[in-house]
Amino acid sequence: MEAQFLSSPFSGYVYPNETVISWTVLIAVYPYLTGLVAGSFTISSLYQVFGFRQLRPVAHFALLVSLCCMIIVPLPLLLHLGHPERAFNAMITPHMTSAFAIFSFAALFYVILLMVETWFVFRPYIVHQAQQTKGVLSWIYRGATLGSYDLSDNAMRYDSKWVFWLAIIGIPGAHGLHGYVGFVFGSLKAREWWSSDLMPAIFLFSAIISGTALVIVLYVLSCKLRRAPIDLACMKVMAYSLWGFMMFTLLLEGVEFASLVYRGRQGYDVIMQFVEGPLLVPFFILQFGVGSVLPLAVITFFIWRGANDRALVVGMTASAALVLLAVLMMRYNVVIGGQEISKTGKGLLAYYPPIFGREGLLAAGTLLILPLVLLSILVRFLPPWHEREQMT
Amino acid sequence: MEDEDKLEKQQRERREFLSWLGGALACGAAVIAGDAGLQQAVAAGERTAAAQVPPKPAIPGYDWTKHRWAFGVDATKCIGCLRCVEACKKENTVPADAHHFRTWVERYVTLEGEETARIDSQADPVNIAAAGSESEYRFADRYRDAKVAKAFFVPKLCNHCTEPACVQVCPTGATYKTVDGVVLIDHTYCIGCRYCVQACPYGARFFNEEMNVSDKCTWCYHRITKGLLPACVEVCPVGARIFGDRNDAQSAISRFIHDNRVQVLRPETGNAPNVFYVGIDEDVS
């Protein structure tokens, strides 16, 4: 059988086995998606738990965004496995010293939590639809009620208590899930680029900004498509959140990079070669410049000017889109970049992702679009729109 | 009245359902938490049990509690002939290309006036060109016209560490440490996530695309359990590779470790390698 692999050119000295990059773009997509889950859940929780009333127009929508992303999260991993049919081995005989072993359990728990919370949030609508609609749709909604049709004040109070507690459990759940992804990389002592105590925190904060940015972009897009007015107060709170979390993220990334340079351990000169060479465009220009500093400046400008008009919407949406790009680049630079620096500390590899194939750019792109496709279907069954709630 | 009854019934059913759901969720969480704790307890128990009553592999006439295998490399003897690499590839049907090796040889050359060594292995494009193909192995005579201050060869292979990072990160336990000190991979159980490939600081592991699993040196476990030497040791014409049982004080490896000032690669990782080197300098990692 002809083996299928892609070898990477190198400079300096690298171990012979390193020339095939083990973790491809799919492994960059995986933390990106879990980050979107954690981030959008944060927006939802800011409303459900912390009482940010201005976020009401997006609270339920953010929950659905989180759910749709979470359903797709296992796919890049499964697609990457050499033997996906054996994936359940990690659940049947989890090897508890492995950071990967607990993922399946944590992911399963979190998917269930998201589904239960979604059910409680949308229960009044589901009951309403089960009684109003006819035909197949009626059957679907009647199934979705799980036999519970009670919408009395007492029942609703009970529901909101559940939503509150599920959201509270969900906060450490979502953030723990993503912090753990950072740990998967940060705990690997074999790679200087990954081996950092700050990695889980950096992953977490970048997750929150990516999720917030996604909710901003999708909310504006959904309003445009539905020709509904955009809630500016809500946009402003999201802008403040994005700004605050971005400051944290940039600070953490800066501190991590500074300590890597300042420590100057063995192999540091090769890392600097890498940072000043191949990383110049993806890291300094795309991730740092265009994706972080520029949107931060734009959002700062809006906050300073107290903008409250169309300019705020356009500026915020554009900034959020750039932040989404920056976080994607961050995942790529961590996952792929880490492998481009040889474990020898004496050489560099150059990875050129293929377009086609199981682990190509096309597959990765499809996985990034899938949650949106899922979301566009789900919002038809469970409309999260604020105006609909006001009507019912 | 009837409406009230109906409402009451609905509310009761609802409460029952919710309490069931709550119970189910709590049980789920408890099972997950309990499972984690239980697994750790079981793993700890297994470790203790393994030290006392190890499950023996079904190899006739072989008792893995009686051996403690180790490997030695005498870099002062290696001539870079690469017969070890060729033997390993053939013995273990390792993919015959320049990107998959269970063992390889590095060449360190310091030229006059230079402070750091120039390093290459048989997988370097210049050496492949000299060999004629990726499945033949030769070091090109690339320093013929240079003034060489110092040069030596270093054979590399899996270090079969006492605290292997690869075993630590394997999510399924497909890779494991045997009682006799060898790190093996169960190719029928490996899911092919490549976490172990990332975790190995020595670059000793690779992903075998023919089998879709991780792969690496086994010290020729199929040979050593029959009283034979690993293929690379067997073919080495100069005795640069030494293998044996540390439980036997007179074995080649015990004498090698006793008679020489040996060192291991990257001790700072805490992996505690079991391949002992003689004759290397600080450039080697």
> Using one digit for the tens of pLDDT, what is the confidence trace for A38-75?
999 999 999 999 999 999 999 999 999 999 999 999 99
Q: Which of A264, A282, A270, A258 has its CA nearest to residue A352? A: A282
Q: Which long-range contacts (CB under 8 A, 24 or more apart) does A125-134 make?
A: A125/A382, A125/A383, A125/A388, A125/A392, A126/A382, A127/A151, A128/A392
Instruction: Please say whether the beta carbons of B70 and B247 come within 8 A.
Output: no
Residue A252 has pLDDT above 90, yes or no: yes
Q: For residue B37, is it within any domain? A: no
In terms of CA atoms, which chain B residue is nearest residue A12? B119
Chain B residue nearest residue A80, CA to CA: B193
Q: Do A95 and B173 touch (CB under 8 A)?
A: yes
Instruction: Quick: pLDDT tens for B83-138.
Output: 999 999 999 999 999 999 999 999 999 999 999 999 999 999 999 999 999 999 99
ipTM of the complex model: 0.93
Answer yes or no: do B203 and A80 touch at CB < 8 A. no
pLDDT digits (tens, 9 = 90+) for A113-129: 999 999 999 999 999 99
The closest of A274, A255, A279, A262 to A205, measured between CA atoms, is: A255
Q: How far apart, in whole angstroms, are the C-alpha atoms of residue A238 and residue A230?
A: 13
Which residues of chain B are within 8 Å of residue A98 when distances are taken between CB atoms?
168-171, 195
Give the residue among A344, A1, A359, A15 at the shortest CA–CA distance from B100. A15
Q: How far apart are CA A163 and CA A63, in angstroms?
A: 11
**Domain holding B77: CATH number?**
3.30.70.20
With respect to residue B272, please indicate whether it lies within any of the assigned structural domains. yes
Asked whether the beta carbons of B136 and B149 are under 8 A apart, the reply is no
Does B23 have pLDDT greater than 80? Answer: no
- Number of inter-chain CB pairs under 8 A, A vs B: 180
In angstroms, the separation between the Cα of residue B208 and the nearest Cα of chain A is 8
Q: A75 to chain B nearest CA, in Å?
A: 13
Res. B3 pLDDT band, cuts 50 70 90: low
What the block records as the tokens of A112 is 């269930």
pLDDT for B39: 47
Chain A closest-CA separation from residue B249 CA (Å) = 34
Q: What is the pLDDT of residue A2?
A: 53
Q: Which among A88, A98, A118 is the top mutation candidate for probing chain B, defined by the most B β-carbons within 10 Å of its own β-carbon?
A: A98
Nearest to B212 among A22, A83, A99 (CB): A83
What pLDDT does B43 receive? 47
Rounded Cα distance, A52 and B190, in Å: 47
Q: What is the pLDDT of residue B9?
A: 57
Q: Which residue of A has its CA nearest to B191?
A: A83
**Nearest Cβ partner for A90 among B120, B121, B172:** B172
Helix (H) or strand (E) holding B103: strand B103-111
Residues of chain B contacting A102 with CB distance shorter than 8 Å = 36
- Per the prediction, chain A carries an average pLDDT of 92
Specify the pTM: 0.89
Which residue ranges make up each domain of chain A? 14-391
Is residue A3's pLDDT more than 90?
no
Minimum CA–CA partner of B102 in chain A: A17
Cβ-nearest to A20 among B17, B119, B206: B206
In whole angstroms, give the CA distance from residue B197 to residue A37. Answer: 28
- Assign B267 to helix, strand or coil: helix
* Cα(A224)–Cα(B279) distance, integer angstroms: 71
CA A102 to chain B, closest CA, distance in angstroms equals: 8
Contacts of A50 (CB under 8 A, 6+ apart): none
* Tokens matching residue A81: 């496995």
Phi, psi of B206 (to 5 degrees): -145, 165
Give the distance from residue A151's alpha carbon to the nearest chain B alpha carbon, in angstroms: 9
At residue B59, the pLDDT reads 86
> Residues A186-191: contacts with CB within 8 Å, 24+ apart?
A187/A99, A188/B165, A188/B169, A188/B198, A188/B199, A189/B165, A189/B199, A189/B201, A189/B269, A189/B270, A190/A343, A190/B165, A190/B198, A190/B199, A190/B200, A190/B201, A190/B269, A191/A338, A191/A339, A191/A341, A191/A343, A191/B198
What is the C-alpha to C-alpha distance for residues A251 and A257, in angstroms, rounded to an integer? 10
List chain B residues with CB under 8 Å of A344: 119, 203, 285
Structure token pair of residue A75: 């796919």
Q: Please list every residue in chain A whose beta carbon sits closer than 8 Å to the beta carbon of residue B164.
A: none
Q: Rounded CA gap, B8 and B13, in Å? A: 9
Share of chain B residues as helix, strand and coil, in percent rounded to the nearest 5: 35, 20, 45
Q: Which of A19, A149, A343 comes nearest B99 by C-beta?
A: A19
Sort out which chain A residues have CB atoms less than 8 A from B25's CB and list them.
Answer: 112-113, 116
Nearest to A17 among B173, B203, B285 (CB): B203
Residue B32 lies in a domain: no
Indicate if the pLDDT at residue A264 is higher than 70. yes
Residue B13 lies in a domain: no
> How confident is residue A303, by pLDDT bands cut at 50, 70 and 90?
confident
Average pLDDT taken over every residue of chain B: 87
Contact B192/A15, CB-based, under 8 Å?
no
Its domain, for residue B281, covers: 61-97+158-285
Q: Which residues of chain B make contact with A109, given a CB cutoff of 8 A?
A: 28-29, 32
In a domain? residue B275: yes
CA nearest B204: which of B33, B88, B48, B65?
B88
Q: What pLDDT is attached to residue B4?
A: 55
- Report how far residue A14's alpha carbon sits from residue A12's, in angstroms, rounded to the nearest whole number: 7
Q: Taking CB atoms and an 8 Å limit, are A82 and B29 in contact across chains?
A: no
Distance, in Å, from the CA atom of A28 to the CA atom of A313, rounded to the nearest integer, reads: 30
> Mean pLDDT across the stretch A220-225?
96
Is the pLDDT reported for residue B49 higher than 60? no
Q: How far is A200 from chain B (nearest CA, A)?
A: 17
Q: Å from B230 to nearest chain A CA?
A: 21
Tally of domains within chain B: 1
Partner-chain residue, chosen from B98, B172, B212, that has the shortest CB–CB distance to A82: B212
The rounded Cα B77 to chain-centroid distance in angstroms is 25
